[in-house]
Amino acid sequence: MLDRLRDRILEFRDLRDWKQFHDPKNLAEAIAIESGELLENFLWRTSEESRRMPEDAIRAIGEEMADIAIFLTILASELGLNIEETVNRKLELNEERYPVEAVRGRAMKRP
């Protein structure tokens, strides 16, 4: 599933000859910028309000998340990283670092 999505993203980029602009530095910057645009949707809202967003805000949030996912996918491709393998490896590390019995229900990562 992720492979097909990656291939579609790269095809979209390549048809437009945008690979020349997609070096790792610029892609990382684009991810940071899009993350800021995602955060804008939550500006001045309370935590509770963020759980009850209007439909148009949810749609805008989804578009920013998609932008981040697209740039992240391209960055992974440029660096030769497999996102699924990388995320699974990180989850395994987090399972070791943050055992359930030590952190369950706590905001702090370490007791």
pLDDT, tens digit, for every residue of 36-94?
999 999 999 999 999 999 999 999 999 999 999 999 999 999 999 999 999 999 999 99
- 68 and 87 housed in the same domain: no
Are 33 and 18 in the same domain? yes
- Owning domain of residue 102: 83-111
Verify that 57 and 111 share a domain, yes or no.
no
Q: How far apart are CA 20 and CA 32, in angstroms?
A: 20
104 lies in the same domain as 61: no
Contacts of 6 (CB under 8 A, 6+ apart): 73, 76, 77, 83
6 and 39 share one domain: yes
What is the pTM (predicted TM-score) of this model? 0.90
Of 29, 39, 27, nearest to 64 by C-alpha is: 39
Residues 6+ apart with CB under 8 A from 31: 68, 71, 72, 75
Domain count for the chain: 2
C-beta of residue 86 within 8 angstroms of C-beta of residue 94:
no
